[in-house]
Homo-oligomer: A and B are copies of this chain.
Amino acid sequence: MKLALPETERNRLKHALKSRNRRPTRQRTCVYEVILEKRDHPTADDIHLRVREKLPSISLATIYNCLDTLVECELVKQVHLDRAPTRFCPNRNPHAHFHCRVTGQVYDVSLDDERLSIIEKTLPDGFTADTIELSFIGQGPKSDTIS
């Protein structure tokens, strides 16, 4: 098998898995690989299609399993927009998402440390968040070209 995954990412994956006593299987590696390759925000189904080009017999259930593991390992984030299938995102830096109503496109919007800490301080005492999801919905720049 050719290793399409760069050394750094490969190691990140291996370590993240090991530290949680999870095995670095071919399927997990490939799912991670595919998500990194094209930095859009694919659904489990999209990912299934792409992974199948390399591992033709992989099942959708496995895609979900792998994704859950990657999320657990904090290598991938889930994005929940509207009443729509969950999307997955390999951007590990703090960021928000912008969802264009016109084109349906999803963009990453980077969040600087200061803003992030301001947002975190919103929480009253007693609440501890390990995950923050911030999404904007509206009109993106490209949507001009449509109408």
Taking beta carbons and an 8 Å cutoff, which residues of A are in contact with B?
A: 78, 80-83, 86, 96, 98, 107, 109, 111, 115, 118-119, 122-141
Of B107, B111, B118, the residue contacting A115 (CB under 8 A) is: B118
List 27 contacting pairs A-B, 8 Å CB cutoff, sorted by A.
A78-B82, A80-B80, A80-B81, A80-B83, A96-B122, A98-B127, A107-B127, A109-B123, A109-B127, A111-B122, A118-B118, A119-B119, A119-B134, A126-B140, A127-B138, A127-B141, A128-B139, A129-B137, A129-B138, A130-B137, A131-B136, A132-B134, A132-B136, A132-B137, A133-B133, A133-B134, A133-B135
- A98–B130 Cα distance when bound, in Å, is 11
